[in-house]
Amino acid sequence: MPILLLCYGEPEAKDMLRRAIIARYGMSPPALDSLEIDFEGRFRTKVGPVKAWVPLEVKTRFDFPSYMRLDFVAKPMGMAVRRGIEAFDSDLYRTTRNNGDVVEITNYEQIESVRRRMWTMAAIMLTPLSETFIKLSVIDENTIRVENTVMDDQLEMHFAPDGAVESVQVMCLNVDTNKQQCYRLTLSEESETVNELIIPSQIQAYWDDKISFEMHAKKIDVNPALAQDIFTLEEDI
């Protein structure tokens, strides 16, 4: 059966997205209005005087197109557990660390950075890119530009020869270096089915050419009912 793509833009770009959706999901792609994914993996961080891999657990929640939340727990060996939440409610970015007070971030570059990084995670699921608020254009024979007109953000999506997604990237602020850098998610060639949703077996994140974290999905809930206050951090955290 044909895939209905409601996005607009260059026909060649729409065809590249269509091929990627078929490569991932076949001819019956899921309609994703909301999504919750629990990930497990590790990330690179400074532990004492050196950088090391630290175990990481991440929960992502999306209410498309513009409500996003990320909860993470890092467990450095021999050190206190680190917890944090980042949330965007289509307007404001809020964060909290180690169960402390909720802080509303007003710096535009920081708001833009978290919004773009969260949107790359949503984009790798592909079908959120088939909606009417998405504009597509061709960069080259293996790359398209994807514009989210609701959030006024753009990302680049790179494809393998078979049409599958290889990586997604955006330019945004790295708060650790205070510089605009390329934030890139790369996807493994292998996929797996978690709770009936197909997802790449491993996702790696890079700032420019330096790896930041890698993780894989442990649990997925498709189209859950998500209360809006979880994106404003008004619920009990």
The predicted-structure confidence for 29-74, as pLDDT tens digits, reads as follows 999 999 999 999 999 887 777 888 999 999 999 999 889 999 999 9
* Averaged pLDDT score across all residues of the chain: 92
Q: Is the pLDDT of residue 80 over 80?
A: no
Cβ-contact 73, 67 below 8 angstroms: no
Cα 108 from Cα 114, distance rounded (Å): 10
Question: Using CB atoms within 10 A of its CB, is residue 123 exposed (0-12), middle (13-18) or buried (19+)?
Answer: buried
Question: What does the DSSP 8-state code read for residue 31?
Answer: -
Q: Is the pLDDT of residue 237 over 80?
A: no
Per-residue pLDDT, averaged over 212-235, amounts to 93
User: Residue 193: its pLDDT value, please?
Assistant: 97
Q: Is the pLDDT of residue 236 over 70?
A: no
User: Residue 46: its pLDDT value, please?
Assistant: 78
Q: pLDDT tens digits, residue range 113-143? A: 999 998 999 999 999 999 999 999 999 999 9
Q: Is the pLDDT of residue 12 over 90?
A: yes
User: Residue 1: its pLDDT value, please?
Assistant: 40
Cα 230 from Cα 237, distance rounded (Å): 9
Residue 7, token pair as written in the block: 């996005």
Rg (CA), the chain: 17
Q: pLDDT tens digits, residue range 141-194? A: 999 999 999 888 999 999 999 999 999 999 999 998 999 999 999 999 999 999
The top-level CATH class assigned to 8-231 is mainly beta
